[in-house]
A and B are shown apart, each in its own frame.
Chain A
Amino acid sequence: MGGWAIAVHGGAGVDPNLPQERQEQAKQLLTRCLNLGISALRSSLPAIDVVELVVRELETDPLFNSGRGSALTEKGTVEMEASIMDGPRRRCGAVSGLTTVKNPVSLARLVMDKSPHSYLAFSGAEEFARQQGVELVENEYFITEDNVGMLKLAKEANKIVFDYRIPALGLETCSAGAGMVESALQMNGLPISIYAPETVGCVVVDSQGRCAAATSTGGLMNKMSGRIGDSPLIGAGTYACDLCAVSCTGEGEAIIRGTLARDVAAVMEYKGLQLQDAVDYVIKKRLDEGKAGMIAVSSNGEVAYGFNTTGMFRGCATEDGFMEVGIWE
């Protein structure tokens, strides 16, 4: 017990047919980010700084759905959101509707540290970004070819592609309840869902027992412009307090409705559950029909994760040398 711990995720809901090389790429990125976090922890950087720097790395890499590589809105643009929370005094910062900010998680941090508010969005957030002098780029910077292709297919099928829905030979759909598909949408010969990009997140407890969490995303492919998901909502996609830190991914609407991140801490605090039991409880009981996953750390140096989707890109490590990167159960 005690000591630092870290977990990262690149999203819940992975198609079992994901080509091996993409699985490898994902695992390498997760490993790299984990190592970045571990070095930082070994140099005694506080948890709040570690989660920010790890999520920045995930945003910068185009592989997952955040920063560069974000999912596209119905207009073909990128609207990013993120949140960060510091356990000790439950300070928090969140942003939504960003179109030019290279690292949304860092702007969320600035909202927390440098503004009188907790949450800024759209043009107000962009204006704040300019005032703060953060790195800004053109919206095109964030857009990748893969995502342009996916958006096109999603529009053709007139659907919103969730991160994780895998059409099982026409029995399930990729859509938000729009009905059945005759044949799975294909791109490069493979089902579209396998390319569906994923939210990212990081949770850390440092050697002082301080917990922090951060989550970042481009949201749902083909989402309505102006749609806000769970990632910037404190208590839904992100939460940290004295006991633990949590970052969630998956069906945004289900995560919001289930106030997932807060509930992990609430069952620890009010029911006395330990971290893994709390994660399992929330995944099992708070999602109803929804699909999601999460990573969590406790102030005791434990790390845990859980998901009811097919797979979740994740990595975790603790001070006593434990390290694991995985996708499947």
Chain B
Amino acid sequence: MGWAIALHGGAGDIPLSLPPERRAPREAALRHCLQLGVAALKAKQPPLDVVELVVRELENSPCFNAGKGSVLTTQGTVEMEACIMDGNTKNCGAVSGLSTVVNAISLARLVMEKTPHIYLAFEGAEAFAREQGVETVDASHFITPENIERLKQAKEANRVQIDYTQPIQKDLQNETHIASGDSQIGTVGCVAVDDQGNLASATSTGGLVNKMVGRIGDTPVIGAGIYANRFCAVSATGKGESIIRATVARDVAALMEYKGLSLKEAAAYVIEECVPKGDAGLVAVSATGEVTMQFNTTGMFRACATEDGFSEIGIWPSV
């Protein structure tokens, strides 16, 4: 036993030809967030605090599809959602439809701790944010030029784009044009366990490119994009509709509990057998300090570390 942490910046069709100028900032962000999380665990901060602080950092990075850098709805707006869960108590907090809250994950935590409810959305969530005095900004803060371009592409192709669908190969010289498969952004999440076996999970996202206004994905749905109990903590990413249908995060824990599978076996089963290829990835830790990061997409921005010194940062399959 020992502590362990894993985090992700989204799974999807991340092209192997990803140019260095798009790859480096994301790897740097993953490394930075991992270090923050590891330092916090070493300082004996509770896993619930650790996952929140790591996800806040991921939200603040414009590299990933959460907080600043969130993908846009069909109306060009941002609607963010997040969820946090504590393994010991199975207490959880979720929010959807946020447009001005700088850190959705922190508002989710406040829903969990300061209301008798689990899940607040849209205007009600925004009103709660103001009551709680959390940091809010003008909605334009979250919008980046890359995402405006992604939305334009998606509309041209008349599709709702999952985080990582490779866009149409048009003008390859155009720097800002996201050709050569630049949809390398995605949901973010973090799972952590301390050396006492306390588990926690947190996930945050801007959702799908060109999504309908009001669309809710897997991220705030307990058991789909996120889950934590006394067996494990899981954060999933990919095509929300598939993750919901397969109750991905809950199933990893259920397989461990009901069928006695190990963390890795459970995660592998869910990713390989329960969701269509190209639709999902997850990171998970167990109460005994194991960690696993699995995906059936081209790649998943990810990082993990364990107390015994193991650490990994990656994008594509390791093998």
Name A's B-contacting residues (CB within 8 A): 90-92, 94, 96-97, 115-125, 127-128, 160, 175-177, 223-229, 233-236, 239, 252-253, 256-259, 262-263, 266-267, 270-271, 288
Contact = CB atoms under 8 A, between A and B. Distances in A.
Nearest to B92: A257
Closest 6 CB pairs of A and B: A226-B124, A124-B214, A176-B116, A270-B258, A124-B213, A228-B119
A252 B96 contact: no
Given A228-B94, A228-B119, A229-B118, 6 more contacts: A227-B120, A228-B120, A257-B91, A257-B222, A262-B223, A266-B250
Interface in B251-268: 251, 254-255, 258-259
Contacts of A119: 215-217, 221, 244
Given A121-B121, A234-B245, A259 B258 contact: no
B127 interface: yes
A226 B121 contact: yes
B223 A223 contact: no
Interface in B30-64: none
A97 B125 CA distance: 12
Given A227-B124, A228-B120, A121 B96 contact: yes
A92 B120 contact: no
A304 B171 CA distance: 60
6 contacts: A96-B216, A122-B214, A124-B213, A234-B245, A257-B90, A271-B258
B245 A91 contact: yes
Contacts of A288: 90
Given A121-B122, A227-B117, A235 B258 contact: no
Interface residues of B, number: 44
Contact of A122 (B122, B127, B245, B254): B122
Given A92-B245, A226-B122, A235 B214 contact: no
B128 interface: yes
> Which of A128, A175, A270 is packed against the most chain B CB atoms within 10 Å?
A270
Interface string B97-135: 100000000000000000111111111110110000000
A263 B250 CA distance: 9
Contact of A271 (B90, B160, B259): B259
B11 interface: no
B121 A224 contact: no
For the residues of B in contact with A, the DSSP-based class is: mixed
B250 A235 contact: yes
B214 A128 contact: yes
Given A121-B96, A226-B125, A235 B115 contact: no
B196 to A, nearest CB: 20
A30 B132 CA distance: 43
A121 B259 CA distance: 36
A266 B214 contact: no
B150 interface: no
B238 interface: no
A234 B224 contact: yes
Contact of B127 (A96, A226, A263): A226
A121 B216 contact: yes
Contacts of A258: 90
A93 to B, nearest CB: 10
A262 B229 CA distance: 15
Nearest to B256: A270
A121 B214 contact: yes
B177 to A, nearest CB: 25
B240 interface: yes
Contact of A116 (B90, B160, B224): B160
Contact of B224 (A227, A235, A253): A235
A263 B227 CA distance: 13
A122 B255 CA distance: 35
A105 B96 CA distance: 21
> Which of B123, B245, B251 is packed against the most chain A CB atoms within 10 Å?
B245
Nearest to A85: B245
A175 B116 CA distance: 9
Given A224-B115, A227-B124, A270-B255, A233 B213 contact: no
B246 interface: yes
A127 B258 contact: no
A236 B222 contact: yes
Contacts of A257: 90-92, 118, 222
B247 interface: yes
A266 B120 contact: no
B68 interface: no
Contacts of A123: 122, 213-214
Given A118-B240, A124-B212, A235 B221 contact: yes
Interface string B212-242: 1111110001111001000000000000110
B26 interface: no
A232 to B, nearest CB: 9
A154 B127 CA distance: 21
B211 interface: yes
A160 B117 CA distance: 10
A6 to B, nearest CB: 23
A233 B122 contact: no
A122 B81 CA distance: 14
